[in-house]
Every structure is written in structure tokens, then in C-alpha cells.
């Protein structure tokens, strides 16, 4: 594996991990906000918090990896 390949893998890994952390935090905040309302909606009460958090983690991972690929592509053109 060349030097550029290692850098790209590191960039994708770090951005993916940051995306996971941000996605989990955001989904947990949304769950807490939904449940702390004075009159929570029916959808809020029936959704599974673990599923909601897993969706946030997955979305964060996808966004992080796509951001890393976009950044690498942009800097590769220069």
C-alpha cells in the first residue's frame, strides 16, 4: 500500500468515526427532546430508541465517509 493509499484510508476512517459520534449524539438529542415534550406525539412514544440511535449512527457513518471521499477528490485535483 502506497503512502497516498494509507493517507486516504486514515482520512476515511477518521471521518467515519467522527460521523458515527456526531450521528449518535444527534439522534440521542432528538430522542431526549421528543420524550421531554409536555405532550409527546404518538410516533415519539412508539419508536424504539435503539433503532433511532442506530439510524443516526448509520447516517453519520455514511455522511462521514462521503465527506472524506469528497475532500480527497477535491484535494486530488489540485
pLDDT digits over 2-57, tens only? 888 898 999 999 999 999 999 999 999 999 998 888 888 888 888 888 999 999 99
Closest to 21 measured CA to CA, from 59, 60, 63: 60
> Which H/E stretch holds residue 61?
helix 49-77
Are 77 and 44 in contact, with CB atoms under 8 Å apart?
A: no
> pLDDT band at residue 78, thresholds of 50, 70 and 90?
low
12-to-3, 7, 63 alpha-carbon distances in Å: 14, 9, 11
Amino acid at each position: 500500500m502506497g503512502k497516498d493509499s494509507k493517507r486516504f484510508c486514515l482520512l476515511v476512517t477518521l471521518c467515519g468515526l467522527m460521523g458515527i459520534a456526531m450521528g449518535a449524539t444527534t439522534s440521542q438529542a432528538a430522542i431526549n427532546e421528543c420524550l421531554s415534550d409536555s405532550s409527546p406525539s404518538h410516533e415519539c412514544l412508539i419508536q424504539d430508541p435503539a433503532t433511532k440511535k442506530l439510524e443516526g449512527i448509520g447516517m453519520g457513518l455514511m455522511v462521514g465517509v462521503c465527506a472524506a471521499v469528497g475532500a480527497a477528490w477535491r484535494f486530488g485535483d489540485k
